[in-house]
Amino acid sequence: MSGGLTFQETVLRLKQYWSDRGCIIQEPYDVEVGAGTMAPETFLRVLGPDPYRVAYVQPSRRPADGRYGENPNRLYKHQQLQVILKPSPADVIDLYLGSLTAIGIDLGKHDIKFEEDNWEAPTLGAWGIGWQVMLDGLEISQFTYFQQCGGFDLDLIPAELTYGLERIVAFLQNVDSVYDIVWAPGFLYKDVRLKDEQQFSKYNFELADVDMLWQLFALHEKECQRLTKLAGVVLPAYDQVLKCSHIFNLLDSRGAISVTERVGVIGRVRRLALGVAGAWMAEIGATKNEAVA
Amino acid sequence: MNYLPFLLEIGTEEIPDWMIDSARDELRRGFETLTKDYAISGAITVDATPRRLVLRVPGIVESTPEMTSVTSGPYKSAGAGAAAGFAKKWGTTVDQLGFQPTPKGEQYLFTKRTQGLATSAYLARELPNLILKIQWPKTMVWNGKGTERFIRPIRWLVALLGDAVVPFEIGGVKSGNTTVGHRVLGKPLIPVTIQNFDSQLRANGVILSADERRDKIEAGITARIKPDPDLLHTLVYITEFPTPILGSFDPSYLDLPQEVLVTVMRHHQKYLSVEDGEGKLAPHFIAVMNTSADPDGLVRSGNERVLRARFNDARFFWDQDQKKKLEDRLEDLKKVTFQAKLGSYYEKTQRVVALTKELGGNERAALLCKCDLTTDMVKEFTDLQGIVGGLYARAQGEPEEVAKAIYDHYKPLSMEDEIPSTEAGRIVSLADKWDTLVECFKVGMSPTGSRDPFGLRRAAQGMVRIIVEGRVKFDFPGMSSELSEFMRDRVEYYFRDVRGFAYDEIRACMAARWTDLIDLEARLKRVQEVRRTPDFEPIAASFKRIKNILKQAQFSDSSFHAHLLEPGPELDLYNAMRSTDNLPLESRIGPLRTKVDLFFDKVLVNAPDPDIRRNRLALLQNLLTEFSTIADFSEIVTERQS
């Protein structure tokens, strides 16, 4: 490492920065997700008319991206720092640039560009408009103005900032492999996470029991459908969506989903997500009406 | 009249580069329409960077002139009621009306005065609408559901007429006289006047003129680059203050295929490639920064590191991919979707192989052509599909013919692109494209209007070029009528817009038949040639006449009896037809022309005797049929018509 903050110091500074700007600092969501967007702190909180500001690190699992710890830039599980500013303030880009300064990037000595990159997650009925943020030619963040989520047009438009932490820190520490990042003084990224990558790559690609996964998918799907019909259990219902989504990703990395099945399975997850979003909206509406009455 | 300069700046967050040109044109046109009643001196200009659209007018009239219009009303003699009614209609009273003497007596008059409308007030009212109605490919809201839409959030507005602000508001942003500089090089709030606008922006790190940004990039490039106007255009529009820098990479990466290196640099990093004196790729690149300098070399070393990681990825992918041969990837294609409704690439491959076999092509190439879709290299660099397959095939010892055919089979990717360079490549390319067209049309995924999400027009156009320019026999087997219609259009387009044949020549030749494009091209050339001869126009006119006669008679029978032919022009025509039977079209026109003219001059087709009449029609039908093997000459537009 030649200069640059440690991995954990970078995380701490970003959390402090966003805390100072009115964000709730949440801990990672404790169900497997593919991206910070899927945590309920984003997926559900962006719905409805209530302002919200939150920041959290979300370990994001993408089984098919695993490379047994052998590729210097690709991980089965990477860490995203996710920020939601709802509604987005007019100076949101300046705030974002300020956060880069906070982690030691002197903007006067670097090249920052915002290049078009719109975001879409069909399984979540969600899309937004935005950019990838390029620092000296490296994509370091995704910046998205959410437009729709769970199939609903959003009342307030949130800005979602997603920092790819491994990339940013590897860049600032001037190392060519994420595994050589200094996580904490005396500990490298590989000391902390390499086993994780090796073992889960083996499991995800070779060992996960396909029959069991299909059964689990069906069970969680059924549970989600049951819960969505009941009052006051939207959050447990949403956990079931996340389970299904992750199992889908596992099946995919096992190569167990045929072409013809694929569209159908994505559709099943999407229906669950839209159902939960609808239930959440109904619940918000009900709370509002109670407050009025 | 007093003229004032006008300036409008729409300040936004970063607009995608490829949308800026058309938005700029639209803003200018919209403003011209908006101010059509206002005199303007000088040219309206619009400049743009990713963060601003700036419209300027050297002079616009301060207000529209005061207008008066006079309307005549009833005669005094019509009585008080009529006068009161007239006054009421114009919102006034009878005592405010004027008179004019006429031969029929005095007549009431109403004079309407319209105040001149101040330009400032007019613009203040109309500008929000002008700005918000600019068409973008994809718009967004930023102030919440149901609020104004634009390509990206509008963050500031400058609107000045002379020294005064034209006041309006969009989405909570009020127009004013302060602009915003470059994100890093400039200050956030800069008071401006129309006179100092450019210089203030420049002092704050913004070069407003795209031409000037382009010049600055070109002047700053110190190496010999591969010319790339499209990429240069992108770089001009993703920067407000562009500065090129030269970076390098380890020459050992030059072992990787040049195609891979260039794709990584161009598509993923927006770098210009550098060549050595012999036009070979050199281990350097040009990156264009959106800032003024790289004082510590951090930007250069950062970009070099990113590129190194990308190249390492590519090398890693290459090595990984070699562990599984293309052939062994066939099974994996079962999991790669061709189209949701059309199954997998495995199934597509089976069809393409069968068609390639029918066409006498290289089946091995067809079998392997889609296998690179499962490689890490193509998953990462999708633009390289086909190319990677070809390179791998070569590396894995497949015959050169197979490798080259796979490499080329997506070609041509545009009208300018080359067609596949080998016969084997052309046939696989045809089979692949034809399969896509047939299958997509089968499930109703045909292009509509300007929408063509599956690139079917490009595929069809590519086929036409491969067949004609690559001399491949192909007759479009098993076309539905919808697909036939679609292909006809593409063939017409090709011969008209690309090859420059006249529209009526194409129609004439295609009316005879069109699915053998090589034959069609040959006939087109003959018709084009023969059209220049003096006998052509008259005979084409005669054919039109023949066609009309047959049509009116609803006649299509061609059996006739030589013994019923009357001696004279009728028999002469018949004899001329028979004696020129074996001659090419070009030599028949001369002798036949005079006979046909004479026939129409002297012979009554609608003879009273029905047998004779039928026989004459049949003679004409035969003449028409014989010539129609080349073209339907009645489709040719003749002098007399035009």
Least CA distance to B312: which residue of chain A? A72
Among B373, B475, B477, B470, smallest CA distance to B424 is for B470
Q: Per-residue pLDDT averaged across A256-277, rounded? A: 87
Q: Is B476 left (phi over 0), alpha (psi -120 to 50) or beta?
A: left
Nearest to B306 among A109, A113, A136 (CB): A136
Reported confidence tier of residue B523, pLDDT bands at 50, 70, 90: very high
Mean pLDDT of chain A: 93
B250 vs B556 pLDDT, higher one: B250
Question: Cα(B24)–Cα(B211) distance, rounded to whole angstroms?
Answer: 14
What are the Cα distances from residue B364, in Å, to A169, A266, B361, B432, B435? 47, 35, 9, 14, 17
Question: Cα(B493)–Cα(A44) distance, rounded to whole angstroms?
Answer: 52
Strands B154-161, B173-176: parallel, antiparallel or unpaired by DSSP? parallel
Which of chain A's residues have a Cβ under 8 Å away from the Cβ of B337? Answer: 259, 262
pLDDT at B67 over 80: no
pLDDT at A288 over 60: no
Percentage of chain B lying above the pLDDT 90 cut: 61
Q: Do B298 and A136 lie within an 8 Å CB cutoff? A: yes
pLDDT at B207 over 50: yes
Q: Do A93 and B183 lie within an 8 Å CB cutoff? A: yes
pLDDT value of position B66: 78
pLDDT at A29 over 70: yes
Nearest to B290 among A113, A118, A171 (CB): A113
Nearest to A259 among B138, B306, B335 (CB): B335
CB contacts < 8 A (A, B) = 107
B14-25 exposure pattern, b = at least 16 Cβ within 10 A, e = fewer: bbbbebbeebbe
Identical fold, A7-204 and A208-287 = no
What are the Cα distances from residue A206, in Å, to A66, B85, B326, B343? 12, 94, 22, 26
Least CA distance to B146: which residue of chain A? A155
Nearest to A176 among B188, B295, B309 (CB): B309
pLDDT at A176 over 90: no
B78 vs A116 pLDDT, higher one: A116
Separation of first and last alpha carbons in chain A: 61
Q: Give per-residue pLDDT as tens, B502-514.
A: 999 999 999 888 9
Q: In the 8-state DSSP scheme, what is residue B397? A: T
pLDDT value of position A285: 82
Lowest mean pLDDT among B11-25, B172-186, B209-223, B598-612: B598-612
Question: Cα(A203)–Cα(A254) distance, rounded to whole angstroms?
Answer: 9
CA distance A225 to chain B (A): 26
CB distance A30 to A129 below 8 Å? no
pLDDT at A287 over 80: no
| CA angle, B277 then B279 then B284, to 5° | 80
Q: Do A137 and B16 lie within an 8 Å CB cutoff? A: no
Which of chain B's residues have a Cβ under 8 Å away from the Cβ of A154? Answer: 144-145
Instruction: For residue A152, count other CB atoms closer than 10 A to its CB.
Output: 18
CA distance B39 to chain A (A): 38
Give A83-146 as a DSSP string. Answer: EEEESPPTTHHHHHHHHHHHTT--GGGS-EEEEE--EEEGGGTEEEEEEEEEETTEEEEEEEEE
CB distance B169 to B128 below 8 Å? yes
Q: Per-residue pLDDT averaged across A29-50, rounded? A: 96
pLDDT value of position B265: 95
Say which CATH class A7-204 falls into: alpha beta
Give the best residue of B294, B298, B317, B338 to mutate against chain A (max A CB count within 10 A).
B298
Reported confidence tier of residue A99, pLDDT bands at 50, 70, 90: very high
* C-alpha A52, offset from chain centre: 17
CA distance A68 to chain B (A): 13
Q: Per-residue pLDDT averaged across B310-325, rounded? A: 90
pLDDT at B639 over 70: no
Reported confidence tier of residue A1, pLDDT bands at 50, 70, 90: very low
Task: Answer whether 0.90 is exceeded by the pTM.
Answer: no
Which of chain B's residues have a Cβ under 8 Å away from the Cβ of A90? Answer: 153, 155
Q: Give per-residue pLDDT as tens, B20-61.
A: 999 999 999 999 999 988 889 999 999 999 999 999 999 999
Question: Cα(B397)–Cα(B323) distance, rounded to whole angstroms?
Answer: 14
- Domain with residues A208-287, CATH architecture: Up-down Bundle (1.20)
pLDDT at A81 over 50: yes
Among B373, B365, B384, smallest CA distance to B422 is for B365
Locate all alpha helices (DSSP H) within B13-142, ordered by sequence.
17-34, 80-89, 119-132
Instruction: For residue A195, count other CB atoms closer than 10 A to its CB.
Output: 11
Least CA distance to B244: which residue of chain A? A111
pLDDT value of position B642: 41
Lowest mean pLDDT among A41-45, B121-125, B402-406, B445-449: B445-449
CA distance B336 to chain A (A): 7
pLDDT value of position B14: 98
pLDDT value of position A260: 67
Task: Parse chain A into domains and list their residue ranges.
Answer: 7-204, 208-287
Q: Per-residue pLDDT averaged across B599-609, rounded? A: 85
pLDDT value of position A291: 46
pLDDT value of position B340: 74
Q: Per-residue pLDDT averaged across A54-69, rounded? A: 95
Q: In the 8-state DSSP scheme, what is residue B636? A: S
Task: Parse chain B into domains and list their residue ranges.
Answer: 3-63+118-203, 67-114, 210-322, 327-524, 533-635
pLDDT value of position B389: 96
Confirm whether the ipTM is greater than 0.85: yes
pLDDT at A218 over 90: yes
Question: Cα(B96)–Cα(B109) distance, rounded to whole angstroms?
Answer: 9
Lowest mean pLDDT among A15-24, A122-131, A237-246, B171-180: A122-131
pLDDT value of position A292: 47
As beta bridge partners, residue B179 has: B190
Which of chain B's residues have a Cβ under 8 Å away from the Cβ of A255? Answer: 335
Nearest to A73 among B188, B302, B313 (CB): B313
Nearest to A71 among B238, B303, B316 (CB): B316
pLDDT at B191 over 50: yes
Question: Cα(B637)–Cα(B474) distance, rounded to whole angstroms?
Answer: 30
B213 burial (CB, 10 Å; 0-12 / 13-18 / 19+) is: buried
Nearest to B184 among A107, A138, A263 (CB): A107
Give the best residue of B20, B141, B149 to mutate against chain A (max A CB count within 10 A).
B141
3-state SS, B70-105, equals: EEEEEEHHHCHHHHHHHHHHCCCCHHHCEEEEECCE
Which of chain A's residues have a Cβ under 8 Å away from the Cβ of B298? Answer: 109-110, 136
Q: Do A111 and B290 lie within an 8 Å CB cutoff? A: yes
CB distance B492 to B506 below 8 Å? yes
- Describe the crossing of helices B481-493 and B503-512 by its angle, rounded to 10 degrees: 140
Give B530-598 as a DSSP string. Answer: HHTSTTHHHHHHHHHHHHHHHHHTT-------GGGPPTTHHHHHHHHHHHTTTS-HHHHHHHHHHHHHH
Among B363, B443, B373, smallest CA distance to B399 is for B363
Q: Per-residue pLDDT averaged across B302-324, rounded? A: 91
Q: Per-residue pLDDT averaged across A261-278, rounded? A: 91
- Domain with residues B327-524, CATH architecture: Orthogonal Bundle (1.10)
Which of chain B's residues have a Cβ under 8 Å away from the Cβ of A109? Answer: 294-296, 298-299
What are the Cα distances from residue A15, in Å, to A56, A83, A133, B263? 8, 9, 19, 37
pLDDT value of position A2: 54
pLDDT value of position B64: 79
pLDDT at A149 over 80: yes
Instruction: For residue B243, count other CB atoms closer than 10 A to its CB.
Output: 18
